[in-house]
Amino acid sequence: MDLLSIIYVIICPMKKQTTVQSYAKLNLALAITGVGQSGFHSVDMIMQEVSLHDTITLQPADTIFVDCGDVCEMHRNTAYKAAQLFFAQTGLPGGVSIHIQKRIPAQGGLGGGSSNAAAVLLALDNMFETALPQNTLAVLAGQIGSDVPFFLHGGCMRAQGRGEALSSLPNNLDAQYLLVKPDAGVGTARAYQLSDALGPVHVEIDQVADALRQGDAAAYFSSTGNALYPAAQQLCPPVSRTVDDLKQAGADFAMMTGSGSCVFGIFTDPALLQQAETVLKSRYPFVQSVHNVFRGR
C-alpha cells in the first residue's frame, strides 16, 4: 500500500456495510433509429423505473467478490465489472464483497444486470466517500452497458443514441402494471440481429412522450410500441401468448418490455389487476404487480 493510500484510509474511513435496492425498468416505448458501422444500434426509447428490485449488500474486503447465488458467474457479472472500474478509477486499495438477492428475472428485458451495475457504482461512491462527478460515473456506467447510465438516475427518462443520451421525462400516467414472464427468455443480441432482417417498425416516440406528460392513457396506448417485438415473437413464441393472456385477464393494454420475454399489462381497475395476478400465477413462473418509482419523491 502506498503512502497516499495509507493517508486516505486514515483520514477517510469507509462505512462498514451498506444495503441498496436495485430497481427494474420497463420500456414504455422502444424504436430503433439506425445501425452504425460498428454494428451497434441507435435507439429512441422511454424507460420507467418500477418497484420490482434486487437487494444488494456491500462490505469492504481485500478483493472483489460477488455472490448472487447460482444465477450468475462472478467474473462475468455486471456488478463485478462495476466494482473493477470503480477501484481502477479511484486507485483505492482493497476491494468489496457484494451479495445480490435476485428478484428481477434474467432475459426478461427488465434491465436487472444494468441496474445492479449502476447500484454498485453509486453504493461504492457513497461507501468510500469518493464523490465522483456525475459525468465520471456516467462514463464508467457506459463502459458496462448501454442501459447502465439510465439507472444512475432512474425515474422516467427518454434515452437516445446507444442509450447514453438521457433526458428526464414527466410521466403522469396513473399506471398499475402486472409483469408476466414465460419460462423462455430472449437474448438481446439475437433480438436486434433478427430485427434487422425483419425490417423497421415505426414507433411514434414524440407522441408517446406527450401522452405520458399529459397522463393520457388512450393516447399512450395508441401511439406506443416496441420495435423488437416481431423479432421476439419468432425467437420466443410464448411472448405473443403472454400478451394475449394479459388482455384476456382484463389489462387495458399489454406490451413486451425491452427485448423480452417479460410482458407488462396496464390495469386501470386495481381489483381486476389483483384477480389477474392470481389467475396468471397458476400459468406462469413469474408474475408480479409493480408501480412506478421516482427517486427523491
* Catalytic (active-site) positions: 25, 147
Question: For the chain, how big is the Rg over CA atoms in Å?
Answer: 20
In angstroms, the CA 45 to CA 206 distance is 10
The C-alpha cell at 115 is: 441496474
The C-alpha cell at 84 is: 473493477
Contact, 239 vs 263, CB < 8 A?
yes
In angstroms, the CA 250 to CA 247 distance is 5
Helix (H, G, I), strand (E, B) or coil at 183: coil
Residue 155, C-beta contacts closer than 8 angstroms, at least 6 positions apart: 48, 49, 168, 171, 293, 294, 295
The C-alpha cell at 125 is: 461512491
Residue 49, C-beta contacts closer than 8 angstroms, at least 6 positions apart: 23, 24, 25, 151, 154, 155, 156, 292, 293, 294, 295
Rounded to 5 degrees, φ, ψ at 185 are -110, 180
